[in-house]
Structure 1
Amino acid sequence: MYSLLLAIIYVAFVSLGLPDSLVGSGWPVMHQDLGVPVAFAGIITMIIAVGTIVSSLASERVTLRFGTGVVTAISVGMTAAALVGFSTSEQFWMLCLWAIPYGLGAGAVDAALNNYVALHYAARHMNWLHSFWGVGASISPFVMGFAISSGQGWSTAYLLIGLAQAALTLALLASIPLWGTVDSARSPARTVRTHDLAEDAPAPQGRAPVPLETALRIPGVALILLTFGAYCALESTALLWSSTYLVAERGALPAAAAAFGALFVLGLTAGRFLAGFVAERLGDRALIRGGFVIIGVGALMLALPLSTEVVGLAGLVVVGLGSAPIYPAIIHSTPINFGRRNSQAIIGIQMAAAYTGSTLAPPAFGALSAWTGMWILPLFLAVLVMAGLVLSERLNRVVAVPARVRTHSVTT
């Protein structure tokens, strides 16, 4: 049952990534067809992010009531409906309308799935699962590029991805009975050190949720929220604006830029796959620290005013490689840093902080670039790198493993 459920979760992570690159890769054409300024892309992502913030904060409550399997299936179904709606949108306000159910579905499934994996599976699976998210996010720019270059239009790309999400929804509905087996069945396990902050067992279904004010008072929670917000602001900005940067600053054609914009996601995907092999040996803290440093190197490569485009394109890959381990490491360390009983509540709040960063950063960069020019993208990324690195190092000093520790089992 473990292997079957894990395979389903891997497919679900592919599904999570499929829609995430569509707006960024298609926007150079979409904004022209819809007759809106280029900076309006930030409005779409802001609406989606607000929906994810709301559903992330409510994720512990709904997951404890209905279970992870049900929440995952219903949430993916909502995103499928929203993507099909995107494909039928002929005006900008229609995109805004369909962005609401997309955001609500994305936030709930993100928090529920990440907590489930953090509690029940080894660190390597957390990285590999997020690598599979990258597989989905890497596929969709090529789907968008093909739809645009073949003359079918950006709406065809949304329709195809929406139908794929609908098929996954049916598979997830059929898998609902499997989700409770991991907690109850006996299986091989590994031992992990964890803080003695709460009861060792995960929160059972039906238990009252942890109040928001209680979770926020746990030492280090505020710092991890700021760190996660800075990282996700960086990731969402690179994901949304890299194609437009290539068109404006490197002279790439829109269809080619949609494909080149996938270089960031390809680096992200490859980096998470590789990180899975070393995650348990290096540890979450080293992965986060090294990731931010590598992103800084990639931003520098992206900014170099060279006559060749090769270094800049390679810089997008390096930014993706550096970004790779940060998100999985932050999530995976949550039960260890703050207690398994508190993990669903804190991961839900982390998702809200992440999408707050995603909400504010893309439109802020859109407004900034309209004033200064798109050349400022590498500098914008560098500032977020410094913020994330400083905050994460401060967190490491605040959240220290105490002398008194105990162990819990995590399914491999």
Structure 2
Amino acid sequence: MPDGLLGVAWPSIRAGFSIPLDALGMLLTASVAGYLTSSTLSGPLMSRFGVGSVLAASCALTGIGLIGYTLVPVWWMMVLLGVLAGLGAGAIDAGLNTYVAAHFGEGLMQWLHASYGIGVTLGPIIMTVALTTFESWRVGYQAAGVFQILLAGAFMLSLPMWNQKDQPADDAPKRLTDYKTPMSETLRQPKVWGSVLLFLLYTGAEAGVGMWAYSLLTESRGIDPKMAGFFAGSYWATFTLGRIVAGLYAKRAGVNLLVMGGLAGAWVGSVLLWWNPAAWVNLLAVALIGFAVAPIFPALTSGTSARVGAHFAANTIGMQMAAAGLGVAAGPGLIGVIARQTSLEMVPVCLFVLFTVLLALYGVASGKKASEPN
């Protein structure tokens, strides 16, 4: 939910603090720094304190950060609180992904990520109500912050459930969260870095479509802004729908089919967007990419153990979440730099290159069965 607040709130925040338009980069950088730090360290933290404790503390940190936004009198204090909110968000993402990967099937992982789309949709609605009804962006952040604090309390009350240790049979396989592999050992594994690179490139492509589709259609291809907004909105609509559908068929399809099929569909969509034979093809291309990429992130997360080995999976998932946060920030930014130096028509070319590289990289990563250390 917090991810959807800032876009709507930013004009009011900027006016309130009397800061320039590009000051947004300071807050985003601070948040990403916190996100990268906590998600990278989530594996060791969960090994020491347990998943439930990490989730409770992370929600509390996020809630304090969001409410703090509304209380500080100067901009630099809000930037510092961005680090705090990012620390909480990174550990929440990594903790939930690790827990679901360890205890549940691919279907639930898809639905977990489908809920992200719902939350991102609710965020702008909450902030719009705050601005139109209460005439204050602070009310929107206060509502989201209180929700995070309540969620932290719920995690605290349910700690026994999150941290309980089952008594499996002697020959039963360990879960990902049962391993206590040192981070230093995980960092020495080339297959881990290959898996991390997958997330960096994938999230850069996913965010790149969402960020630049509207600009491409309006500024370069002359499509009416209202129609272009509908085209761009179809990306997130089919994205959320795709994850819901994938949750129904994930167990039957398997991780590799979801990822390879999704990347292949996105590759075709990027070709159509690049080709651009008619205006309606843009709608088809953007919607196809949204539906195709939908299952990739959760499927990649579920398949972490198969790619890198169960001993390294918990630490790797945290690193992957960090790479995802970096990709969301760096991918659209890099595409924007290329587009500014050339033209917006380079956007679909960049997407084509990214999806081509991802297809090749995943083919290599999934073709080698991970071996476990003795």
Same fold (TM over 0.5): yes
Q: Deviations over 1:243-299 (max 9, x none)?
A: 66677665648xx96x98654333222111111122122211111112122223444
Specify the alignment match of 2:166 in structure 1: 184
Q: Deviations over 1:46-79 (max 9, x none)?
A: 3322222211221122111111001001101211
Aligned match for 1:334, one of 304, 318, 331: 304
* 1:229 is aligned to 2:200: yes
Q: Deviations over 1:93-138 (max 9, x none)?
A: 4443222012111111222221111111111111111111221122
- Counterparts of 1:24-173 in structure 2, within 5 Å, are 24=7, 35-37=19-21, 41-87=24-70, 93-147=76-130, 152=135, 154-173=137-156
Specify the alignment match of 1:210 in structure 2: 182
Q: Take 1:243 and 1:163, find their aligned partners in 2: how far apart are those partners?
A: 33
**Partner AA of 2:369 in structure 1:** A
Q: Deviations over 1:321-353 (max 9, x none)?
A: 222111111111112333333221121222222
Instruction: Give the Å deviation of 1:391.
Output: 1.2
Q: Deviations over 1:299-335 (max 9, x none)?
A: 4555676886x65455444332222111111111112
TM-score by length of 2: 0.82
Matched-pair contact (CA < 8 Å) for 2:97–2:301: yes
Structure of greater relative contact order (alpha carbons < 8 Å, 6+ residues apart): 1
Instruction: Report percent identity of matched pairs.
Output: 30
Q: Deviations over 1:167-212 (max 9, x none)?
A: 222222211121133x41679xxxxxxxxxxx9413666x754233
Classify 1:361/1:173 alpha carbon distance in 2 versus 1 (closer, same or farther; 3 Å). Answer: same
Count residues in correspondence.
366
Q: Take 1:260 and 1:166, find their aligned partners in 2: how far apart are those partners?
A: 36
Aligned match for 1:279, one of 238, 241, 250: 250
Specify the alignment match of 1:390 in structure 2: 360
* 1:400 is aligned to 2:369: yes
Aligned match for 2:293, one of 323, 333, 344: 323
Matched-pair contact (CA < 8 Å) for 2:66–2:141: yes
Q: Take 2:241 and 2:200, find their aligned partners in 1: how far apart are those partners?
A: 23
Q: Take 1:103 and 1:223, find their aligned partners in 2: how far apart are those partners?
A: 25
Specify the alignment match of 1:348 in structure 2: 318
Specify the alignment match of 1:4 in structure 2: none
Specify the alignment match of 1:190 in structure 2: none
* 1:288 is aligned to 2:259: yes
Unmatched runs of 5 consecutive residues or more in structure 1: 1-17, 188-198, 405-412
Farther-moved stretch of structure 1 (40-49 vs 146-155): 146-155
Farther-moved stretch of structure 1 (233-242 vs 127-136): 233-242
Matched-pair contact (CA < 8 Å) for 1:200–1:340: no
Q: Take 2:160 and 2:210, find their aligned partners in 1: how far apart are those partners?
A: 36
Q: Deviations over 1:130-174 (max 9, x none)?
A: 111221122223334555566835444333322322222222221
Matched-pair contact (CA < 8 Å) for 1:36–1:92: no
Classify 1:158/1:319 alpha carbon distance in 2 versus 1 (closer, same or farther; 3 Å). Answer: farther
Instruction: Give the Å deviation of 1:82.
Output: 2.0
Q: Take 1:279 and 1:46, find their aligned partners in 2: how far apart are those partners?
A: 35
Unmatched runs of 5 consecutive residues or more in structure 2: none
Classify 1:392/1:375 alpha carbon distance in 2 versus 1 (closer, same or farther; 3 Å). Answer: same
